[in-house]
């Protein structure tokens, strides 16, 4: 059973997602600070990749941005449950590419005092 998000004024919030359009693939995220100010990050990927890799790319970029802003408490939300479960070690990674991203994300989490990640349903 997944934890419920904490309601706490110390937590920044990060939403991440892969993006697909006629122009190609990309990723994006929204980082929301303690006052509710939103920072949007988007990136066009210059390589073909799976949805899982694009989702991980978005998560990693959002985490790097949060770290650059010295965020210590971070709640993260993504709509691809497989990525969330892999980050939480609830699902095994078979792909070496995904294992790399899983390890990178888990390494980045050590820089936060508190890090929580949750799956949210796609609309």
Mind listing the domains of the chain with CATH numbers? 12-119 (3.30.420.10)
> Locate tokens 């998000």: which residue?
5
At residue 104, the pLDDT reads 95
8 Å CB contact between 122 and 78: no
Prediction pTM value: 0.84
Closest CA to 26 of 48, 2, 3: 48
Identify which has the larger pLDDT, 26 or 80: 80
First to last CA, the chain: 22
* Mean pLDDT across 50-59: 81
At residue 49, the pLDDT reads 61
Identify which has the larger pLDDT, 4 or 95: 95
At residue 82, the pLDDT reads 85
- % of the chain with per-residue pLDDT over 90: 41
Q: Is 70 left (phi over 0), alpha (psi -120 to 50) or beta?
A: left
pLDDT for residue 38 is more than 60: yes
């Amino acid at each position: 059973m997944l934890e419920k998000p904490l309601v706490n004024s110390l937590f920044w919030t990060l939403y991440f997602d892969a993006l697909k359009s006629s122009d190609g693939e990309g990723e994006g995220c929204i980082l929301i600070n303690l006052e509710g100010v939103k920072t949007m990050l988007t990136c066009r990927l210059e390589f073909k990749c799976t949805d899982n890799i694009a989702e991980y790319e978005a998560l990693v970029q959002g985490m790097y941005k949060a770290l650059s802003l010295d965020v210590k408490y971070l709640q993260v939300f993504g709509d691809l449950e497989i990525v969330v479960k892999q980050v939480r070690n609830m699902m095994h990674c078979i792909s070496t590419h995904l294992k790399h991203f899983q390890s990178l994300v888990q390494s980045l989490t050590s820089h936060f005092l508190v890090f929580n990640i949750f799956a949210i349903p796609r609309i």
